[in-house]
Chains A and B, each alone.
Chain A
Amino acid sequence: MQRPDWAPETIDIERPSVARMYDYYLGGSHNFAADRAAARAMVEAVPEAPLMAQANRAFLRRAVQFLADSGIRQFLDIGSGIPTVGNVHEIAQRIDPESRVVYVDVDPVAVAHSQEILAGNDRAAVVQEDLRRPEAILRHPDVLRLLDFSQPVAVMIVAVLHFIPDADRPEDCLRTLREALAPGSYLVMSQASDDGRAGTGERAEAERVYRRTDNQLFIRSRAELTALFAGFELVDPGVVWVPQWRPDAPEQAENAEQAVFMGGVGRLGG
């Protein structure tokens, strides 16, 4: 996707943005009427949508916790969304205030909001870029300023891949990112999946809702998501429904397949 660097994306508050719909699912109020209307239509089609969002966000939190516990102090969160509760820098910097976080999102409103939240935090920054332009992300001055790629970095691409069609060759973007990473780095990914849920008609309806936004939905199977971790060694328990990924308590993993999101964490060996 080549657009001029000044072309405005969704600043039109009459047009639903996936970032603000997601905020609504999480119970936030960082959204406008159009976002809420689209989100409600989504809930109509897939009643668990808010729970799915919460489960995904909880996965993100546990993954950051896991990475911080594993000694990771640098995070590159691509498709970070509207800063809401439990942002990566809050979790990571609570564990170690020296942790560095760079957020990346295409949504200009999400970026502007992140700028406000991060004002005064000199170990975190936000960059408006597209996951599909990994070279631009890696070259960005803020990325270069905050992250040291000779040391392990955790790349987070959480609940974003289902907005990237195969035609945009996500595997190429991931390879470019991987090649920039030092051994011991991590990749965290989750995305909407219909493994075992195909044929409920929900998928078609969800896709219809998202056609109102700038982003379409591209659902992937567990095998497809696993393939995107190429080059990384999946840590236990591999690619699973997100509530099953290292739950705080066993009962949290109940009815996991209703979560719709599958995710996992991979480590770059060598």
Chain B
Amino acid sequence: MGDERATATTRSRPGAFARAWAKAVSGTSYLPMTQAQLEALLQRLTERLALALRADPFDLRIGQQVGAELVQSHIASAEGLGRTIEVIQLRLVRDLDLVVDDVEDRMARLLATVATGYARALRDRTLDEQEAIRRAAMMARAQAERALRDSEARFRHQATHDPLTGLPNRTLFTERLTAAITAPGRGADRIGVCFLDLDRFKVVNDSLGHQVGDSLLVSVARRLRRVLGEHLVARLGGDEFVILVERAGCTEDVVKVAEAALAAVSEPALVDGHELTVSASIGIVERQVADTSPMELMRAADSTLHWAKAAGGARWSLFDADRNRRELARYALSAAIPAALDRGEFYLDYQPLTGLRDGRVVGMEALVRWRHPELGVLRPDSFIPLAEETGLIVRLGSWVLAEACREATTWADGPAGAPFVSVNLAVRQLHRPELVQEVQGVLRRTGLPAERLQLEITESTMMSTVAEPVRALRVLADLGVRVAIDDFGTGYCNLAYLRDLPVSELKVAGEFVAGLRAPADDPGSRTDERILASLVSLAHALGLTVTAEGVETADQADRLRAIGCDAGQGWHFGRPGPAAPHLDRCSPALTDTAS
């Protein structure tokens, strides 16, 4: 018997008790092991229990360890403990055939230690798991928050940076500019902005493609950032960049920044396999923080950039308050045109076109004037170019056409017929599809015969002979309207295109005529005379008449007459003014007797 007990304490195959125990606990909790593994485990614990039951003195620890080990092996449920106690109590002594003194007493103590060890281990395990899951929840939340912050940061970065070049974009630039200007206590500081735009960037895009254009922008951005690292360099869009010079010491500091930027941009660079050298224009504004607002600063920088561009590019311009004021005044003037039209502030002066052979006034050029309530009478050159830029020229031009035709009908019909009225037509008017209709309407309403209307268009307008305007002119010419090329000779001077145009007259630019003021034996003067002579004979060959502009002296008039020029216009024949006095000189007989 003793031998048998000895073998029972060594590793052995699961006995009846271990198998019964395994059966009792399986299903009470999830056990991550096979039935065989469970039985082997319980066999080992069975041997420990047998040992505890017999040990003298009684050892509390063995039973407690068995209880703890059950939990660690995941036999860890209330039912698991209950069934374990039941099985031990009922079967341990019997199945193992144990002989123990005080067996009931010892069994009670053994069960107590197993239950204690089990309960303690289960509680520890519960606490550990609770702590682990709480920590995991905290960690998960922290990770989610970090991800959120990262994505917010990413989002913010995306919202404030240009995806192509990685530079700050307009949003970030505006934020920084606003902060720099509105920060309290900074009123005395100076701030500078360099507004940069590449010269002829469109040519790169058009000739090499947008991909190369984009690569060029990236390369320019990199160069700017390299040389201007300490200043904020932003891309506002397209090929527009801006540099913010916070805390500028003086204007010179900002000019240095602009020069560094120009130098960096003009470095030759290899872009997508193309060796590209580009230049840039920069508008510089530098002033005291207290004197400006972000919007005003950027507007000033924008105008200044245009000055640099207008001066040919590859340079910087510095903001000039006087010049800016003048330009603003010009803009204000153009904006006032519609209201001035409504109030009838415009009127027409006329300048005669006089026949060189007989001195008869053959036509009169209508010249628009603006009787401005504050500025007095304004000449066209102070408002027409702006009206052309802004498109207001269309309304103004319509008014001039109608008014000129209306007045022309009142001109006395002499024996050789009344002079025609010559009206300037702007490019924009010419491109309007309604042009033919408009002219026809005016002629119908005023009753002016078509032959008494001449439309003057500039040579450059005709150089871009788009089909539509040419067709319109042809319709008008077929109606009998005269078409004159104004300022002839200042453009390409290409006579070939005249063949295809419905033109009846050339008005030779004053520059050529000016040459005739020098003595006739001056070589320069003789050249001008020869040019004019061949021009006239060419024009005649094409069936066109020629009017010389800017005729100021009788000598010029004589020489032009000798060349064969048909008519003259200029101070010699009459200054712009009301029509009536010119008309008085209309009769050739009168002119003859007067001279």
Residues of A within 8 A of B (CB): 4-6, 8, 11, 13, 20, 26-32, 51, 53-54, 57-58, 61, 65, 82, 85-86, 90-91, 108-113, 115-116, 248-249, 252
CB distance from B519 to the nearest CB of A (A): 87
Question: Known interface pairs A13-B137, A108-B143, A109-B137. Does A29 touch B77 (Cβ–Cβ under 8 Å)?
Answer: no
Check if A116 sits within 8 Å of B151, measured CB to CB: no
Cα separation A186 to B237 with both chains bound (whole Å): 55
What 1/0 mask marks residues of chain B from 19 to 33 whose CB sits below 8 Å from any chain A CB?
000000001011111
Measured between beta carbons, the chain A residues less than 8 angstroms from B77 are 27
Cα separation A44 to B34 with both chains bound (whole Å): 29
Check if A90 sits within 8 Å of B32, measured CB to CB: yes
User: Could you jot down 15 A-B contacts, CB within 8 Å?
Assistant: A5-B147, A5-B151, A6-B144, A26-B30, A29-B129, A30-B129, A57-B32, A61-B32, A85-B30, A85-B32, A86-B30, A86-B33, A91-B32, A110-B136, A116-B135
Which residues B118-144 have CB closer than 8 A to chain A?
125-127, 129-130, 132-133, 135-137, 139-141, 143-144
Check if B140 sits within 8 Å of A109, measured CB to CB: yes
CB distance from A34 to the nearest CB of B (A): 12
- Looking at the complex, which one of A4, A11, A57, A91 makes contact with B137 (CB distance below 8 Å)? A11
Check if A113 sits within 8 Å of B132, measured CB to CB: yes
Additional pairs, 10, CB under 8 Å, beyond known A6-B151, A85-B32, A109-B133: A27-B77, A30-B130, A32-B133, A32-B137, A58-B30, A82-B133, A91-B32, A115-B136, A249-B35, A252-B35
Measured between beta carbons, the chain B residues less than 8 angstroms from A82 are 133
Cα separation A89 to B94 with both chains bound (whole Å): 41
Name the residue among A51, A82, A112, A116 with the largest chain B CB count within 10 angstroms.
A112
Question: Known interface pairs A6-B147, A6-B148, A113-B132. Does A27 touch B30 (Cβ–Cβ under 8 Å)?
Answer: yes
Which residues B429-467 have CB closer than 8 A to chain A?
none
Question: Known interface pairs A27-B77, A85-B30, A116-B132. Does A11 touch B140 (Cβ–Cβ under 8 Å)?
Answer: yes
Measured between beta carbons, the chain B residues less than 8 angstroms from A111 are 140
Measured between beta carbons, the chain B residues less than 8 angstroms from A249 are 35
B86 proximal to A (CB < 8 A): no
B472 proximal to A (CB < 8 A): no
Question: Known interface pairs A6-B144, A51-B27, A85-B74. Does A109 touch B136 (Cβ–Cβ under 8 Å)?
Answer: yes
- Looking at the complex, which one of A4, A13, A29, A61 makes contact with B125 (CB distance below 8 Å)? A29
CB distance from B57 to the nearest CB of A (A): 36
Measured between beta carbons, the chain B residues less than 8 angstroms from A31 are 133
Measured between beta carbons, the chain B residues less than 8 angstroms from A11 are 137, 140-141, 144
B110 proximal to A (CB < 8 A): no
Chain B: number of interface residues, binned into ranges: 20 to 34
B150 proximal to A (CB < 8 A): yes
Cα separation A217 to B132 with both chains bound (whole Å): 28
Check if B32 sits within 8 Å of A29, measured CB to CB: no
Question: Known interface pairs A6-B144, A8-B144. Does A29 touch B136 (Cβ–Cβ under 8 Å)?
Answer: no
Which residues B2-61 have CB closer than 8 A to chain A?
27, 29-36
B245 proximal to A (CB < 8 A): no
Question: Known interface pairs A11-B141, A27-B77, A29-B126. Does A113 touch B136 (Cβ–Cβ under 8 Å)?
Answer: yes
Measured between beta carbons, the chain A residues less than 8 angstroms from B129 are 28-30
Name the residue among B77, B125, B130, B147 with the largest chain A CB count within 10 angstroms.
B147
Closest B residue, CB atoms, query A35:
B133
B423 proximal to A (CB < 8 A): no
Check if B30 sits within 8 Å of A112, measured CB to CB: no
B221 proximal to A (CB < 8 A): no
Cα separation A86 to B76 with both chains bound (whole Å): 14
- Looking at the complex, which one of B33, B35, B139 makes contact with A112 (CB distance below 8 Å)? B139
Measured between beta carbons, the chain B residues less than 8 angstroms from A110 are 136
Cα separation A35 to B549 with both chains bound (whole Å): 99
Name the residue among A30, A61, A249 with the largest chain B CB count within 10 angstroms.
A30
Check if B35 sits within 8 Å of A8, measured CB to CB: no
Question: Known interface pairs A30-B129, A58-B30, A86-B32. Does A116 touch B147 (Cβ–Cβ under 8 Å)?
Answer: no
Measured between beta carbons, the chain B residues less than 8 angstroms from A116 are 132, 135-136, 139
Check if A248 sits within 8 Å of B151, measured CB to CB: no
Measured between beta carbons, the chain B residues less than 8 angstroms from A86 are 30, 32-33, 74
Cα separation A40 to B366 with both chains bound (whole Å): 100
Question: Known interface pairs A27-B76, A29-B133. Does A6 touch B150 (Cβ–Cβ under 8 Å)?
Answer: yes
Closest B residue, CB atoms, query A86:
B32
Cα separation A90 to B129 with both chains bound (whole Å): 18
Closest A residue, CB atoms, query B128:
A29
CB distance from B447 to the nearest CB of A (A): 74
Check if B30 sits within 8 Å of A57, measured CB to CB: yes
Closest A residue, CB atoms, query B148:
A6
CB distance from B121 to the nearest CB of A (A): 13
Name the residue among A26, A31, A57, A109 with the largest chain B CB count within 10 angstroms.
A109
Which residues B131-177 have CB closer than 8 A to chain A?
132-133, 135-137, 139-141, 143-144, 147-148, 150-151
Measured between beta carbons, the chain B residues less than 8 angstroms from A4 are 151
Name the residue among B33, B36, B133 with the largest chain A CB count within 10 angstroms.
B133
Measured between beta carbons, the chain B residues less than 8 angstroms from A91 are 32
Cα separation A29 to B123 with both chains bound (whole Å): 10
Cα separation A249 to B27 with both chains bound (whole Å): 13
Measured between beta carbons, the chain B residues less than 8 angstroms from A32 are 133, 137
Check if B132 sits within 8 Å of A30, measured CB to CB: yes
CB distance from B156 to the nearest CB of A (A): 13
Check if A112 sits within 8 Å of B32, measured CB to CB: no
CB distance from A60 to the nearest CB of B (A): 9
Cα separation A269 to B74 with both chains bound (whole Å): 38
Q: Which 10 pairs, one residue from A and one from B, show the smallest C-beta to C-beta distance? A: A86-B32, A113-B136, A29-B129, A108-B140, A6-B147, A8-B144, A54-B30, A112-B139, A112-B136, A112-B140
CB distance from A76 to the nearest CB of B (A): 20
Cα separation A248 to B23 with both chains bound (whole Å): 13
Closest B residue, CB atoms, query A20:
B133
Name the residue among B36, B129, B135 with the largest chain A CB count within 10 angstroms.
B129
Measured between beta carbons, the chain B residues less than 8 angstroms from A61 are 32-33
Check if B34 sits within 8 Å of A113, measured CB to CB: no
Cα separation A29 to B34 with both chains bound (whole Å): 23
CB distance from A171 to the nearest CB of B (A): 31
Question: Known interface pairs A6-B150, A6-B151, A248-B36. Does A108 touch B30 (Cβ–Cβ under 8 Å)?
Answer: no
Name the residue among B140, B143, B147 with the largest chain A CB count within 10 angstroms.
B140
Check if A8 sits within 8 Å of B76, measured CB to CB: no
CB distance from B523 to the nearest CB of A (A): 82
Closest B residue, CB atoms, query A55:
B30
